[in-house]
Amino acid sequence: MKINIFFLMAMLVTFSSQSFATNVDEWNYENITGTLKPTPGCKDKEKASKQASSGYRFKKYAKLLCGSKGYGWAIDEIVDNGEIICEECEGDYENTEKYRCHVKDVVVKCKQVAR
């Protein structure tokens, strides 16, 4: 009899914790517009513009735009890829056709769990 009660209590504790889990059905959405960081170093214009506008680096800094909104905000989708701006490098690279590029006016759709 005591074993049955112990077994019943163990089952109750095990399955009751799942009933208190929150169901995430509602999200807050917000569009954020921002400018991403320029590419590191000075490169050929084609290579610098490609690096700034696509791939891992672009996704990473687009994700950071949502993170700048505050804790709990995550990227849902990239709405607009923005405009690529390339500037000629100065200093040691002057007159060598080397550029740094960044993406201006990127629009990302961010989401947060509604509370």
pLDDT in tens, the chain (115 residues): 777 787 777 776 676 655 445 555 688 899 999 999 998 888 888 998 998 888 888 999 999 999 888 888 999 999 999 999 999 888 776 677 889 999 999 999 999 987 6
| Nearest in space to 38 (alpha carbons), one of 90, 106, 94, 103 | 103
Please report the pLDDT score of residue 54 as a whole number: 86
| Nearest in space to 111 (alpha carbons), one of 6, 27, 53 | 27
Please report the pLDDT score of residue 80 as a whole number: 92
How far is 88 from 101, CA to CA, in rounded Å?
Answer: 9
How far is 110 from 74, CA to CA, in rounded Å?
Answer: 6
Rounded to the nearest 5 degrees, what angle is found at the Cα of 86, between the Cα atoms of 83 and 92? 165
Please report the pLDDT score of residue 109 as a whole number: 95
| Nearest in space to 36 (alpha carbons), one of 81, 98, 1, 88 | 81
**Neighbouring-strand partners of residue 83:** 104
Please report the pLDDT score of residue 24 as a whole number: 55
Please report the pLDDT score of residue 27 as a whole number: 85
pTM over 0.85: no
